[in-house]
Amino acid sequence: MVQSGSGRLPLEWFRDRLATLATMHQKEIAIAPLLKENLGLQVTVPHGFDSDRLGTFTREVKRYGTQLEAARQKAIVGMELTGHAIGIASEGSFGPHPAMPFLPSNREIVLLIDRGNDLEVIGEAISTETNFSHKQVTNLEEAKTFARKAKFPQHGLVVIANADANGITKDKDLIIKGITSEAQLIDAVQWALKQADRVHIETDMRAMHNPTRMKIIAQATEDLIAKLQKTCPNCNTPGFSVADRLPGLPCGLCGTPTDLTRSIVYRCQKCQHREEVLFPNGVETADPGQCPYCNP
Ligand SMILES: [Zn+2]
Ligand SMILES: [Zn+2]
């Protein structure tokens, strides 16, 4: 990776400052030690924080806004609960991989807001390593087969009775979350089969029941740290990171600009100083197969 002319984070910027991590799913296990070790931040989890009112994976409460808006809202609520000037939150999403749509993927963001310095930096990780899955089953054997593929019982499961075709119910009492033992699974499926012929079963994506996801959250935290550690060469504010990718990598045969990235732009949130780095992937020409003129 080509570096911009950024500086190194002054050690005292975050050291021993108090930060609130708004979670009720034990994400501090993945996030707090990394921030302590690398930035010196003291991360605490607020009492009485209810992230479920900002949306649930099991859809009985719709998510507040986009993934980024939901994370930002959590961080703000956390800061309000504790009065700390630094708020941290994470938010995950699951769906087809943007570059490989036939593969399921997990995108995690970990956001840090530093109110004292008017700063917001977003760490990100995307991975195809996820057990994210769901199924409608009609008997216990099918449920057990699903469970084996979903890495149960190390990963938790959710059973929903009387759900619609999309696995949605508005009735909280028809959702059993946090199933982590064979006995719980049998009880839940048998109970749900009494309510309807088909039972919706899915992976529990809450971090404390999903070690695979916890690992991706740690990767997003590492990305956040790497971004914070780069400072603006003009004003020294942390988080001097890539704000834009500009297309136009020239075709190797005829020189026509292609849609491939020619340069990346780093920008400072505080002073708007920008730096453009050419050929970030180390290649200066595009394959003619990507050229709109050679290969229309
Ligand atoms: Zn700056
Ligand atoms: Zn060409």
Ligand nearest to the CA of 296: 2
Contact 41, 12 (CB under 8 A): no
Do 58 and 165 fall into the same domain? no
* DSSP secondary structure of 9-57: PPTTTTTT-EEEE--SS-THHHHHHHHHHHH--EEE--TT--GGGG--T
Position 171 scores a pLDDT of 83
Contact 175, 191 (CB under 8 A): no
Contact 104, 145 (CB under 8 A): no
Ligand nearest to the CA of 290: 2
**Residue 146 sits in a domain of what CATH number?**
3.30.1490
Q: Which domain holds residue 119?
A: 7-130+208-235
Do 16 and 113 fall into the same domain? yes
* 2: in domain: no
Residues 122-137: tens digit of each pLDDT: 999 999 999 999 999 9
169 — pLDDT class (breaks 50, 70, 90): confident
How far, in Å, is the centroid of ligand 1 from the Cα of 268?
5
Instruction: Evaluate if residue 79 carries a pLDDT over 90.
Output: yes
* 15: in domain: yes
Distance, CA of 19 to CA of 27 (rounded, Å): 14
Do 79 and 220 fall into the same domain? yes
pTM as predicted: 0.88
Distance, CA of 160 to CA of 58 (rounded, Å): 9
How far, in Å, is the centroid of ligand 2 from the Cα of 92?
40
Do 14 and 81 fall into the same domain? yes
* 1: in domain: no
* 144: in domain: yes
Number of domains in the chain: 3
* 295: in domain: no
Contact 9, 230 (CB under 8 A): yes
